[in-house]
Amino acid sequence: MRADQILHPTPAGLYCPPGDFYIDPVRPVHRALITHGHGDHARSGHGAVLATRQTLEIMAIRYGEDFAGQRQAADEPLRIGDTTVSFHPAGHILGSAQIAVQPDRGPKIVVSGDYCRHPNPVSAPYEPVPCDIFVTEATFGLPVFRHPDPAGEMTRLLASMAEFPERHHLIGAYALGKAQRLIMLARQAGIDGPIAIHGALQRLCDYHVEQGIDLGPLVPATAKQVDAQLVIAPPSAFASAWVQRFRDPVIGFASGWMAVRARARQRGVELPLVISDHVDWPQVTRTIRELAPQEVWITHGAEDGLMRWCELQGIPARPLRLVGYEDEPE
């Protein structure tokens, strides 16, 4: 069986005919396998959903308990139609997974979803999965993207907090994954006192604590008096009246895109923190070298740059040009 008979792009997303399922579909389908809980990969309304237990629970928090007709946790390899599927840690956010599809006849395909190889205190580390075809993102798939050590970025944050002790430091971070990772990085950097969080982060932070991730003391950033110098909020909050309660704050953002200084200036970011939950150029090329697949498929992002690198390495590659997936939420 040819690879494109096992998995191919459709308007609804990647479809597997021998298993009759979709992976991270962008519209409701009868059977969906979900890599992780971010909204551009995990949507409600499917007939049945197979995902890790944590991803299912995150979807229930975000969409309600009736987000799908049926749900099943992917605790072990499963037979679906004429395929065997298994889920493996992706290192992206809590519960994130790569999905390996092994047909009864034909090449083994691994769909990475979004993945990261920097140590992440809120996610199981990325696990290399040998395969014939590797399906990868290319969010930062250009040589210019070389993300610094997150610990170094936290050193910059602490230096700013020490230099301006009278100013709140408002850091924008995506509500699921990035915010909790930022809190844990702050704890590892030595911030033991209260960290204020926007109300939109509360339930997801509570869930991380329920999963055994000790985020330390958190206080509401919506109180009349915010007794914490470090304040974390989703990006949308910075366009609301909420931000006006803080007098002369230091505005920061945590995103891989903060490496693009023009983007930081455009958003009025005084303290850009280059912290990404995606692979950068050295990580994605290292991963492909380690796996040594027969072919690479690229879902979204800077497809052309990564395709060119693969060609120079003698690895066949092709873009899937899937739509509906954000390069990295800010």
DSSP string computed for 146-174: -PPPHHHHHHHHHHHHHH-TTS-EEEE--
Tell me the pLDDT of the chain (330 aa) as tens digits.
Answer: 899 999 999 999 999 999 999 999 999 999 999 999 999 999 999 999 999 999 999 999 999 999 999 999 999 999 999 999 999 999 999 999 999 999 999 999 999 999 999 999 999 999 999 999 999 999 999 999 999 999 999 999 999 999 999 999 999 999 999 999 999 999 999 999 999 999 999 999 999 999 999 999 999 998 788 989 999 999 999 988 899 899 999 999 999 999 998 888 888 899 999 999 999 999 999 999 999 999 999 999 999 999 999 999 999 999 998 877 765 444
Per-residue confidence (pLDDT) for residue 330, from 0 to 100: 42
Q: With 0-12 CB in 10 A as exposed, 13-18 as middle and 19+ as buried, what is 182? A: buried
Residue type, 157: L
CATH 3.40.1710 fits 150-273, yes or no: no
Helix (H, G, I), strand (E, B) or coil at 224: coil
Per-residue confidence (pLDDT) for residue 264, from 0 to 100: 85
Select the CATH number that applies to the domain covering 3-144+278-319 from these four: 3.40.640.10, 3.60.15.10, 3.20.20.70, 3.40.50.720: 3.60.15.10
Spatial distance between the Cα atoms of 139 and 276, rounded to a whole number of angstroms = 10
Give every CB contact of residue 325 below 8 A, 6+ residues apart in sequence. Answer: 24, 26, 40, 41, 137, 299, 300
What is the location of CATH 3.60.15.10 in the chain? 3-144+278-319
Copy the structure tokens of residue 188.
């590892």
Helix (H, G, I), strand (E, B) or coil at 101: strand
Per-residue confidence (pLDDT) for residue 224, from 0 to 100: 80
